[in-house]
Amino acid sequence: MSGNTTMKTLMIALAGALVGALATGLLLRSGPSQPTAAADSESKPLYWVAPMDPNYRRDGPGKSPMGMDLVPVYAGDASDAGAGTVAIAPEVVNNLGVRTAAVQRRTWRSEIQTVGYVRYDEDRLVHIHPRVSGWVERLYVKAAGDPVAQGQPLYELYSPELVNAQEELLIAHKRNNSTLIDAATARLRALQMSAEFIEALLRRGRAVQTVTFHAVQGGVVDQLAIREGFYVEPGTTMMSIGQLDEVWVEAEVFERQAAALRAGLPVTMRLDYLPGRTWQGEVDYVYPNLDPELRTVRARLRFANPDGLLRPNMFAQVSIHGEADGEVLVVPREALIRTGRQDRVVLAQGDGRFKSVAVRPGRVGESSVEILEGLAEGDEVVTSAQFLIDSESSKTSDFKRLQAPDGMDHSAMDHSTMDHGDMDHSAMDHGNMDHGTMNHSGMDHPDPAPGSTDHAAMGHGSQGGEVARD
C-alpha cells in the first residue's frame, strides 16, 4: 500500500512539473511578442504625404504631383512633443537637405545692398548756349561722346548781331573815343568774345562774318543737339561737356534702410561688364525727399575714374557700409520666413524635431537679420528646406518657444467663486485626512433624519476615534 502511494505521489509531482514547465515556456514565448508587435505597429507609417503639399496623402510610397518622393508620417512623430512640433526621420532630413545655423550675438554693421546708374559729375558739367541768334556754319564735333580738349574749336556761328558789335568797336577805335571803346569792348566780352579775338579784330581792322567758339573745358560731348545749318538763339542748349575723371552714381535706397544712410559712408561698387573688379567711393549727398511712387531715398555716390572705365548710364551694384552699432542677436537671412502677417523661423529642437516659432525681426543686412524677440543665443534655426517643415508645423503650432514654466504665484487668485457641486467625491479616501485643525464653530449642521446616514462607508478607522452607538 505504501509503495502504491509513493508511486502515485511521484507521478503527481512529475505531472505538476511538466505542466509548470509547459506554462513557463508559453509565457516566455508569448512575453516578447507583445513589445515586438507594438514596435512593428509604431514603426509602420500611418500615411505618406507630399513634401510641398501636406493635404496630398497616400497609403503607400510614391510620387507627389510635383514629382517629389512622398514622406512617411508615423504615429509617434509628434504626439508627445508639443503643439506644432514635427518629427522627421534622419534619412528624410538628409534627403530634404536640411541645414541649420546657430543664433549668434555679434556686433551689427548695416550693409545696404542696392543698384545705381553712373552719371556725370554735375559739378563739372557745362552746357553750351549761344549769347546771340544766328546760324551754325560749321560743326567741329560730330557726335555725342566725342572727346574734346580745353580750347578746342566746337562750332562756327554767323550772327548779324556779332558783326554789328565788331563794327561798333572798330568805329569807336577810329574816333579814339575811350568811352565808346570801353563800351564796345565790354559788349563783345559779354557775347563770349575772348581777349585774343578782340586784339586780332583791332589789328585786322575789319569784322569777320563767322566767329569760332571754343571749348571752355576738356571732357566728352554729351547731348549734342545741333547740326550744321541749324538756327540757334539764346536759350538753345547746343551741347554739354562733361568730365569723367570723377563720376557720380545715383542709387535708390529703400525707406526702411534710410535711417542708416548718411554722407561720408564708404561704398563698394561692382559692374557687370567688368566682373571681379571693384571701385571704392563714398556717399556724397543724401537727397531730402522720398520718391512717392517707389518709396525710396536717392543717394549720390562719388567715385574716382582715372582710367575712364566708368561711363555714364552704366548699371552698377553698390554696397553701402554702415557704422558698427552694438551687439545684437542675428540669424542668417534665409532662415526668416515672411508671410505678410507674421515673421517666423523653424527652430531645430534636436533628435529630428522641428517647430515654427514667431519672431520679431529688426534690421536686415546683406546676409543676416537682427532678431529682437523670439529667439535666444545658441538656438538652432533651419536655413534650408524650412518652408517644407513650416508648412506642416504651422498648422498646429502655437509659435512659441519651449520654455520652463516660471513659478506660479496663486496668492492673488480668487477661489471664492469656485463651484465644486459637480465634483465626484465617491472615490476620495478621507481616512488619512487630519480633521484636528478644522473649526466647525461657524458651520450649520442641521439635524439629520434618523437612519439617513450610512456609517458603513465612512472610513474613520485611521482617525483613532471610536464610534458611539446608542
Output the pLDDT for position 183: 95
Residue 83: per-residue pLDDT: 66
Q: Check residue 339 and give its pLDDT.
A: 84
Q: What is the pLDDT at residue 325?
A: 81
Distance CA 436, CA 464 (A): 11
Question: pTM of the predicted model, to two decimals?
Answer: 0.56
Point out the residues of the chain with pLDDT beneath 50.
Answer: 1-2, 6, 10, 13-39, 78-79, 402-413, 415-418, 420-423, 425-427, 431-432, 435-437, 442-443, 446, 448-470
Q: Is 182 left (phi over 0), alpha (psi -120 to 50) or beta?
A: alpha
Cα distance from N-terminal residue to C-terminal residue, the chain: 64
Task: Give pLDDT, residue 361.
Answer: 93
How many whole angstroms separate alpha carbon 107 and alpha carbon 330? Answer: 9
Please state, in angstroms and rounded to a whole number, the distance separating the CA atoms of residues 235 and 239: 12
Domains of the chain: 45-75 (no CATH), 81-117+252-304+314-401 (2.40.420.20), 125-241 (2.40.50.100)
